[in-house]
Chain A
Amino acid sequence: MREASIWREKVADFAASRIALFGLALLLLIVLAALGAPWFSMQNPYDLAQLDIMDARLPPGSIGAEGQTFLIGSDEQGRDLWSAILYGLRISLGVGVISTLIAVSLGLAVGLIAAYRGGRWDSVIMRVVDIQLSFPAILIALILLAVLGQGVGKIIAALVTVQWAYYARTVRGAALAEMSKDYIAAAQGLALSPARIVFNHLLPNCLPPLIVVASVQVAHAIALEATLSFLGLGLPITEPSLGLLIANGYQYLLSGKYWVSFFPGVALLLTILSINLVADQLRDVLNPRLAK
């Protein structure tokens, strides 16, 4: 009962910011559009049979050879950009979310081990974390992908490698703070098994800071994936994320055909922006230091 009212309070706090609610609505809309891509687009942009080369590089609002309207134009293969963006969003969001989930689990496990075991475990793990965090994410990802090559699995592996250390550090910090509290001592006094203490008592209390970091990191992961794909090191051409769509338009930019790069970029921007707006408010709501 008390549990529920605490969460209701948090939800009310979150809803107090209109801009955060706007971000949440925008995010839901984007996720919905990505999930329902086949229903909201006029063609499957990667079924070559549905493309007509005569429709290539049409400006926004053009009517195609078969009478269809290209709302925001088409790319160099006559692909409807709106459809391509929806399908691209699916891949961008999917890669971002999956890599974050894996990295969160990994970081959670490693961080809890470091905090609970302490001693040598702690110092070795935190040394690795410190070294890794002293290098920019993009550099690590670039080198990893240069080594691994292209592919969805590989870019997820690279994004996980880049991210896990943030979570490990966050969880360790939170867990250390929690472990000095009385309820853990009480649980230990009751001779509960370490597994039960860690999973039932420690872990739930480490989640709020983890959620805050993860919400910011999803946006970073999506941006990083787009950047790597833009540089030609991320996803292969068969799985075109937003970054690749933007890269495709690069060569036409100088001749004034702006839409091929512009609109996928707007989609990417709105995605990252909506996540950041939600994350910003989450941080304020879940941060005990700012609690009134």
Chain B
Amino acid sequence: MLVLLAMSVLVFVGVYLIGNPIDILISSQADQAERERAIVALGLDKSIWSQYGSFAVGALTGDLGKSFAHGVPALELIMTRMPATLELALSAMVIAVGLGIPLGLIAGLKPDGFIGKTIMAASILGFSLPTFWVGLMLIMLFAVFLGWLPSNGRGETVDLFGVPVSFLTPDGLLHLILPAVNLALFKLSLLIRLTRAGVREAMAMEYVKFARAKGLSNARIVGVHVLKNIMIPIVTVIGLEFGSVVAFAVVTESVFAWPGMGKLLLDSINVLDRPVIVAYLLIIVSLFVFINLLVDLAYSALDPRVRLADAGAH
């Protein structure tokens, strides 16, 4: 809560200092009277503290102010864009986890083999590729030269529980592939490296030797015992990285013209649409706090030591 408050003051004052949004929002032909009217209508004639005061009071009741540029409440504007971003981020995470953990396992079990080395080389490459440039190259290859996949927008959407989603229509799914792969690439490399390091450490442990001695099959040792023990750092990273995927979606969304909230943030920064910038940040901060909570809960579900420590503390 304190973090939220501090962030809102910092951002509010910071955004206030950038410049006068009036100069951008009003056409240069507008006369003085029109200008004055617009300033009063947007509440820009008041002092910064009274502006913050009315913002804070509004925020407590769920009102984060109206967008200067669009004239609708900032919160509503962001909420209409949020499903697109979450869909993109979730798809990217599914790709990264679905490929990253198996590939990391293979590389960790056979670190000196040809496949293991190839996977590691590929992950260093994936680490080094700038996301936005990969996005451009994907567009160039699959949209321009091959013409297989569309390069921008969400395509056709259907409503799932009242929320528009792309992945349930063939057209939407085609639109989703490139941006999701693009966004997944970096996290995929990260997960491969993390899983590999975890497996290599775990395989040297006593419990693995013991399981071997008991005559358990290799598949069971890896699939049950090793995997369970390396899951804790991996779950942390998946949880924390989800937040960073949402933030990084800003880049992918702007490359692929994906109508999510990251694109909205960029557009808002360009026209100094203060309420939207502030609202975006508050929502992102809340999202992070929420994710951290989930990660903590996942921890205690996965690691009995955490549960015991908690129980002992009370």
A256 contacts across to B, CB distance below 8 A: 144-145
Overall SS of chain B's interface? helix
**Residue B133 is within 8 A (CB to CB) of chain A in the complex:** yes
A43 to chain B, nearest CB (A): 25
B125 contacts across to A, CB distance below 8 A: 273
Q: How far is the CA of A219 from the CA of B127 in the complex (A)?
A: 10
**Residue B182 is within 8 A (CB to CB) of chain A in the complex:** no
- 1/0 per residue B8-35: CB within 8 Å of A? 0001001101100000000000000000
| A139, B132: Cβ atoms closer than 8 Å | no
| A135, B288: Cβ atoms closer than 8 Å | yes
**Residue B136 is within 8 A (CB to CB) of chain A in the complex:** yes
B284 contacts across to A, CB distance below 8 A: 139
A153 to chain B, nearest CB (A): 16
A138 contacts across to B, CB distance below 8 A: 244, 247-248, 250-251
Point out the residue from B129, B140, B250 that lies within 8 Å of A142, measured CB to CB: B250
Stretch binding the partner chain, chosen from A55-63, A83-91, A94-102, A257-265:
A257-265
Q: How far is the CA of A249 from the CA of B140 in the complex (A)?
A: 11
**Residue B74 is within 8 A (CB to CB) of chain A in the complex:** no
**Residue B265 is within 8 A (CB to CB) of chain A in the complex:** yes
**Residue B131 is within 8 A (CB to CB) of chain A in the complex:** yes
Q: How far is the CA of A146 from the CA of B272 in the complex (A)?
A: 8
**Residue A168 is within 8 A (CB to CB) of chain B in the complex:** no
| A146, B124: Cβ atoms closer than 8 Å | no
What is the size category of the interface that chain A forms with chain B?
35 or more
| B247, A136: Cβ atoms closer than 8 Å | yes
**Residue A227 is within 8 A (CB to CB) of chain B in the complex:** yes
B9 to chain A, nearest CB (A): 13
A118 to chain B, nearest CB (A): 24
Q: How far is the CA of A143 from the CA of B143 in the complex (A)?
A: 32
| A142, B127: Cβ atoms closer than 8 Å | no
B16 to chain A, nearest CB (A): 9
B130 contacts across to A, CB distance below 8 A: 223, 226-227, 243, 265, 268-269, 272
**Smallest CB gap from A233: residue in B:** B269
A136 contacts across to B, CB distance below 8 A: 243-244, 247-248
A149 to chain B, nearest CB (A): 7
**Residue B128 is within 8 A (CB to CB) of chain A in the complex:** yes
Q: How far is the CA of A223 from the CA of B131 in the complex (A)?
A: 9
Point out the residue from B136, B144, B281 that lies within 8 Å of A250, measured CB to CB: B136
Docked complex: A206-265 residues within 8 A CB-CB of B:
219, 223, 226-227, 230-233, 243, 246, 249-250, 253-254, 256, 258, 261-262, 265
**Residue A280 is within 8 A (CB to CB) of chain B in the complex:** yes
B interface, CB within 8 angstroms of A: 3, 11, 14-15, 17-18, 124-125, 127-133, 136-137, 139-140, 143-145, 151, 240, 243-244, 247-248, 250-251, 254, 265-266, 269-270, 277, 281, 284-285, 288, 292
A interface, CB within 8 angstroms of B: 131, 134-136, 138-139, 142-143, 146-147, 149, 219, 223, 226-227, 230-233, 243, 246, 249-250, 253-254, 256, 258, 261-262, 265, 268-269, 272-273, 276-277, 280
Pairs A–B under 8 Å by Cβ, sample size 30:
A135-B285, A138-B247, A138-B248, A138-B251, A139-B247, A139-B250, A146-B18, A147-B17, A227-B130, A230-B133, A231-B132, A231-B251, A231-B254, A232-B270, A233-B269, A246-B133, A249-B136, A250-B136, A253-B136, A253-B139, A253-B140, A253-B144, A256-B145, A258-B140, A261-B136, A262-B140, A265-B136, A268-B130, A273-B128, A276-B127
